[in-house]
Structure 1
Amino acid sequence: MRGKKKTGYIIKKTAFYLLICFIFVYMLFPFYWAVNSSLKSEAQLQMTPATFVPRDPETKAFSPTFKNYISVFKDGQFIRGLVNSTIVATSTTILALAVGSFAAFSLGKLRFRGKKPALYVILAMTMFPQVTVLAGLYAVINKLGLSARLSMILSYMLFTLPFTTWVLTSFFKDLPVEIMESAQVDGATPFQTFRMILLPLTAPALVTTGLLSFIAAWNEYLFALTFTSIEPTARTVPVAIQYFTGVIARQEPLGEIMAASVIVTVPIVVLVLIFQKRIIAGLTAGAVKG
């Protein structure tokens, strides 16, 4: 019996690790292939069958090249897109956290009529596809004559603000009421209690929601393509990559596109690595209640 149990345990453990390895490869392989393609020349990209590492077409020796990265950084449109994406994504994140934290504090800690309907309306706003509001939103922004960058920041708030508010509300709800009561006894106003006591306690949630909002704004394509159609200088990185052109007419610059994709992904990876402890704390906070 012990031998059978031990065999069953080994099989289950082996199957578990095989599943983990499969998920790991499945998740990382697209990024690996982008890096691999970005280090290949045009001739290497046309090799059949495709190679898992950059190889010389004739000698088959390992032969990576950084020409694609050099070409990308020499492209003024791409650099301008990086600057635009940084401005738009950072501004969107700051606004979403500022407005969302105030709304979450009100919905999580204050008493007023219509609190539950307000929460359901906020949740419903996250369910609308972007394309359903794009035409009407573009008409309104065009009528107001807003710049493309400001248009993107305001439009991105449509999907970052409801998400931020909804997530932060649950964190404010979990904070003990005694904290607010003690602050009131000490003479603190509701705003002082929020700014000096409650807000620092929700730092993990702020980092988690802020990073997710930043990623959503950084990667957004549909609104950016629409609002920058009449203002090309405001194009963000996803749109700038789309307009890459090859040296030869009608050539698809796959290597440069892959290099640009890797460069765009690096800031997100760096942010996740820097704030990983805060992100884990934010995702697991409130998961276990004693």
Structure 2
Amino acid sequence: MSGGRYRRRRGVRRYLNPVTVGGLFLVVVTAAPLYWMAVTSFRSPQEAGASPPRPFPEDPTLENYRYALDAADMDRYLLNSVVVCVSATAIVLGLALFAGYALARMPMRGRGPVMVGLLMISVFPVIAVVTPLYLVERELGLLNSHAGLIVPYVAFHLPFAIWMLRNALLDLPGELEEAATIDGAGPNRTLFSVILPQAGPALFTAGVFTFTATWTEFLMSLTLNSENDARTIPVGIALYGDRYQVPYGVIFAAAMAATVPIALLVLVFRRAVLSGLTDGALKG
């Protein structure tokens, strides 16, 4: 009896270490806003504004989702976001593959300054360039268009993708290219037939990061697209309210509709994402 009690106490102490407690705290802090968003999306307007708030909806309703999807131009915002994010991600991956291959596998002078420059661009704050970017796009006639968002999204997310692809390609053995050269393959065939399959995890990870970052981007979309027909999901959701009321239930319902697909994407492909991050992608 005493031995079983000792083992139970020992097991409890093992799980109640600082690392486990800290991890549980982070999970609760991270999940609490998501839980509250999900719960509020099923509340009526009266219940959403009740004080004090209740942890569960007393009379769950789907009206918020119906309004968000039918009467609030959600389909238009979804289409704009899909077109912009898919286009930007495809362009970023295509350019990053060529640039990463050149930086990792080909002889080149000034490789170090180029990598430092890419890193500096990756951490550059968007708010510092959004006003000049608006003036440039106004002169070029790119405001309120898909291209007006795709171009800056590619410019801001390409450096990180290049950095990830380059560091992943550094780990590949040189014998792969030597064998392809002996077989008569040129640089392009070597890249697409030999290198590309090996760089699949890193390429997929860069694509997921780029897509999620552009899907949730708010500041540039708000600044460059002022017309309702060109707005993406984050801006469209933020502008659901008016000067007299804020429909929290509708806003949270639309946010859930926009967040769940991205969360499922990351959840389903989490192993591939982790493989891309750890398979040399973050080495210097």
- Aligned twin of 1:38: 41
1:127 aligned onto 2:120: no
Q: What is the distance in 2 between the residues matched to 1:79 and 1:106?
A: 41
After TM superposition, the structure 1 = structure 2 runs for residues 1-290 of structure 1, keeping only pairs within 5 Å, are 10-15=12-17, 16-55=19-58, 63-146=59-142, 148-229=145-226, 231-245=227-241, 250-286=244-280
1:122 touches 1:166 (CA, 8 Å); kept in 2?
yes
Question: How far did 1:226 drift?
Answer: 1.1
TM-score, length basis structure 2: 0.91
Q: Deviations over 1:249-285 (max 9, x none)?
A: 7111111001011000011012113322211211221
1:207 touches 1:275 (CA, 8 Å); kept in 2?
no
2:202 touches 2:281 (CA, 8 Å); kept in 1?
no
Sort the Cα spacing of 1:266 and 1:6 in 2 relative to 1 into closer, same or farther, 3 A. Answer: closer
Same amino acid, percent of matched pairs: 35
What secondary structure sits across from 1:174 in the alignment? coil
1:85 touches 1:236 (CA, 8 Å); kept in 2?
yes
Q: What is the distance in 1 between the residues matched to 2:43 and 2:166?
A: 48
Q: What is the distance in 1 between the residues matched to 2:249 and 2:9?
A: 49
Worse-matched range after superposition: 192-201 or 130-139: 130-139
Q: What is the distance in 2 between the residues matched to 1:207 and 1:120?
A: 23
Q: How many residues align?
A: 278
Q: What is the distance in 2 between the residues matched to 1:106 and 1:124?
A: 20
CA RMSD across the alignment = 2.3
What secondary structure sits across from 2:108 in the alignment? coil
Structure 2 unaligned runs (5+)? none
What secondary structure sits across from 1:188 in the alignment? coil
Aligned AA (2:39): N
Aligned AA (1:22): F
Question: How far did 1:8 drift?
Answer: 6.8
Sort the Cα spacing of 1:149 and 1:53 in 2 relative to 1 into closer, same or farther, 3 A. Answer: same
TM-score, length basis structure 1: 0.89
2:167 touches 2:282 (CA, 8 Å); kept in 1?
no
Worse-matched range after superposition: 183-192 or 5-14: 5-14
Question: How far did 1:125 drift?
Answer: 0.7
Aligned AA (1:267): P
Q: What is the distance in 1 between the residues matched to 2:253 and 2:238?
A: 13
Aligned AA (2:198): L
Q: What is the distance in 1 between the residues matched to 2:249 and 2:281?
A: 44
Runs of 4+ with deviation above 6 angstroms:
2-9
Structure 1 unaligned runs (5+)? 56-62
2:64 touches 2:250 (CA, 8 Å); kept in 1?
yes
Q: What is the distance in 1 between the residues matched to 2:72 and 2:124?
A: 35
